[in-house]
Amino acid sequence: MTASPPLLLGGRFETVESIGHGGMADVYRAHDHVLHRDVAVKVLREVTEVDRERCASEAQLLGMLSHEAIVALYDSSVEDDRPWLALELVSGRPMSELLAEGPLAARSLALLAAQVAAGLAHAHARGVVHRDIKPSNVLVTPGGRALLSDFGIARLVGSEDQLTLDGNVVGTAAYIAPEQVRGQRVSGAADVYALGLLLLESLTGERCFPGPATEAALARLHQGPLIPTSLPAGWPGLLVAMTALDPDDRPTAQATAERLLELAGAANTPGDGATQGGTRDVPPTPEAALSTPVLELVVTPHRTRRRLRWFWTNLAIPLVVLVGALPWWFVRT
């Protein structure tokens, strides 16, 4: 139980216990007395005008989104001059805690990241850019469901607000895209870049741009991250594309999700080095099990095309030559 008296927000959400603290907000497990379910309630702790605007913006943008890989918004308001959000309660841990225990196996990571990329594709299709993709903002359930959280600094594409009032770049220094460092307008490509850094860190166990915030942010203006060629097949090419310096050279979130599903399928085959020593699997969820047929539908057409190309290259031409030679053979015999 919380040390302080329970809060009753909106006349229906009663706080039960504290479950987290952020830079500007406290998060509680709360009980919804109307729908009789537990939710997560995010309550701003120190309220400034900027905080109010961010909370209102987060509520507005989350209200535009409805996707299984994005934490759902149930309600929002202001109580005693303190803005609050009632959100889906996720039973799991932030990805940052998982990575603290070591790298993830390639297939497990591909399945998790494909969900995140699909959630980003949903947001981008509605003009919403998250702008702060990092391990602590990806929640993973015990069974392997991945959800995006914390849209506190998300913005609509084309929004003029790219910088904070004190002139600092918005985002987390270790993961922001080069265009964010320059203070330029950002698009969904910035989220794809950050997700690429997150994936690389998850595979190698090392942060791509370590060090002080300013140094880490400026480093990517001149070079991309170091991507080992020893990574499982398919991963180096995808990560190079995702972390391209030019946003136009990066794949979309939707294309990234599709490619990750292909990699997850490829990692299922023996002998590809997808699960290397020291990596850990995240067990599949019932949701992941249900999505397996979808995975096959995505992967199968690509495999079919590869088989057709192999057929035409290796068998079709010799067969044509053989068939063409048959009349001459009969004449000679």
Catalytic site includes residue 132: yes
CA distance 233 to 95: 23
Catalytic-labelled residue, pool 32, 51, 75, 132: 132
Architecture of domain 8-87: 2-Layer Sandwich (3.30)
Give the pLDDT score at 22.
Answer: 73
% pLDDT > 70, the chain: 75
Name the average pLDDT for the chain.
79
Beta-sheet strands, E only, within 22-167 = 25-32, 37-44, 73-79, 82-87, 93-94, 128-129, 138-140, 146-148, 155-156
Instruction: Inform me whether the pLDDT recorded for 163 exceeds 60.
Output: no
The answer on pLDDT for 77 being more than 70 is yes
Output the pLDDT for position 47: 73
- The answer to whether 105 touches 275, Cβ cutoff 8 Å, is yes
Nearest to 256 by CA among 140, 122, 139: 122
Q: How confident is residue 156, by pLDDT bands cut at 50, 70 and 90?
A: confident
Instruction: Quote the pLDDT of residue 48.
Output: 78
pLDDT in tens, 209-251: 887 778 777 888 888 899 999 999 999 999 999 999 999 999 9
Give yes or no for a contact between 145 and 115, defined as CB atoms under 8 angstroms apart.
yes
Q: What is the pLDDT of residue 282?
A: 56
Cβ contact 28:2 at 8 Å? yes
| 106-125 vs 253-266: helix crossing angle, rounded to 10 | 160
Architecture of domain 93-283: Orthogonal Bundle (1.10)
> Residue 279: which residues within 8 A CB-CB, separation 6 or more?
102, 103, 104, 105, 106, 203
Lookup result for tokens 């535009």: 64
Does 295 have pLDDT greater than 80?
Answer: no
